[in-house]
Amino acid sequence: MATGLLLAALLGGSLLLLALARLWFAPAAAALGCVLFYPLWSWLRQEAALRFLTDELARLEREPGLIAAPRHTGATLDSRMRAVYGMSAQLRGMSRFLSDGLESLPDATAICDLDGGVMLANRRCVALAPAVLDGEPARAPGEAGPPRPAIHALIEAIFPAPAPALAYWQSLHDRYAGARIAPAPVPDGGIEVAGRGDRRYLLHGAPLHAEAGAVAGLIVSVIDITAIRIAERQREQMLRFLSHDMRSPQASILALIELHERRARRDGVAAGDVAADSSVLARIAAHARRTMTLADDFISVARAESKTLAFMEVELGGLVLDATDQLWALAKARDVTLQIDLPDDPAVLQGEPALLARAIANLVSNAIKFSPQGEAVTVSLTREPGSFVVAVQDHGPGLAEADQARLFEPFARLHEGQQGAPEGAGLGLVLVRAVAERHGGKASVRSAVGAGAVFRIELPVA
């Protein structure tokens, strides 16, 4: 085709020169040159095309893929065509693979372009907003067709009060679509939004990048967390049961025991009868106090592991003093000396003061209970790179390395049954670990058999 047009142009140009300028240009030589050199030029173009295909196929083969593709060797046009067909088949398979993966996701998920148009949505997302998405075919970016459903319409169809969700989408879009103004911060874990009825959803978005690394779209998930919120409400009800319905009878038992003892002393009951009654009542009181302690420990652990904690600026040295002040009487009763080592500079951080004081008090109480008479328990506060460290050192029996891994597990009582071992439910160190982790830190222990133990709470600097 191109050769015929070129020959026709040569002949027409020669005739025009003859008719207009009375000049004769013999087209035979030019036509012969085209006939001789055009195949060479076509061959060079084909070679360039083959090199391009070879380089692109080699590049595709080096790409990490989820679906293995057969390798095609050879430098002929036929072999390159087979390789191109194989790669296109692999891309079609990858498209189906990803489409099925999107459909099998457990949460409602939509993929949007940067203009807010919904390109893909799985069946769970369609079920949430059938009026917006039902019957909408998937189309590639730039493909012609009717306007895509807008993510704004999808959000308004799912949430009866869509303002928070729309604001989240806008901040997500502004952050990744290159907004000129400073975008609003995007919560890393998404936001919780109320759905219709009693449904609760977590709306979460993330960018999708193209080959060059630029953001090509956004993926948005709507996660149903209704069951989680119901479980949390049930846990709150259980905590209320523990804090009131379980503690109140035990408090009443202790109050009645104290009242009985007062009446016995007032009425002048015989000494032998008082001693017998006191022994029984003392056991009842001990069990009642143990039940109350167990309930308090349950409540404290559950509170430390709850979703929301009211953090405020606290001075850690003051909390150490508050925690140790509560235990001076216990230390004096067991003939154990408390040594406090605090820094001169204030140790300020963001935390929940009541839980931090309770965690420190648990460590100090354990150290006192396991220390021999006449020994000292050292409570120190130091600053290390990036963190404050509260350390409690005792001179008790120590722990074998194999036992230290179980120490922070619920209901772990490694010294149970040993002579002189203190009573407890095995929740004190669970609370210590939970409090440390909720503050972004950790709890640890260093110990050896017969060498005492050092318990540490590491908390990040505010």
| Torsion-angle region of 197 (φ positive above 0: left; ψ -120 to 50: alpha; else: beta) | left
Check residue 89 and give its pLDDT.
76
Question: Could you tell me the residue ranges of all domains in the chain?
Answer: 2-90, 105-139+148-224, 229-304, 312-460
Average pLDDT by consecutive 10-residue portion of the chain (462 residues)?
Answer: 63 67 62 64 74 72 59 66 73 78 89 88 90 64 64 92 92 78 74 90 90 84 90 75 67 76 67 60 74 70 69 89 88 88 88 89 87 88 90 84 69 52 63 87 85 88 75
Q: Is 312-460 a domain of CATH 3.30.565.10?
A: yes
What separation in angstroms does the CA of 308 have from each of 225, 320, 432?
16, 24, 17
pLDDT of residue 211: 72
pLDDT recorded at residue 202 = 94
- Strand 118-121 relative to strand 108-112, pairing: antiparallel
Task: Specify whether the CB–CB gap between 362 and 431 falls below 8 A.
Answer: yes
The pLDDT tens digits of the residues spanning 450-461 come to 788 888 999 998
Q: Which of 331, 250, 329 is nearest to 290 (CA)?
A: 250
Given this model, what pLDDT does residue 419 score?
Answer: 47
For 317-334, the DSSP string reads HHHHHHHHHTTHHHHHHT
pLDDT score recorded for residue 159: 92
Class of domain 105-139+148-224: alpha beta
- 3 state DSSP class of 188: coil
Q: What letter would DSSP give residue 185? A: P
- How far is Cα 208 from Cα 1, in angstroms, rounded to an integer? 45
CB neighbours of 359 closer than 8 A, spacing ≥ 6?
431, 432, 435, 436, 443, 457
Task: Confirm if 53 and 82 have CB atoms less than 8 A apart.
Answer: no
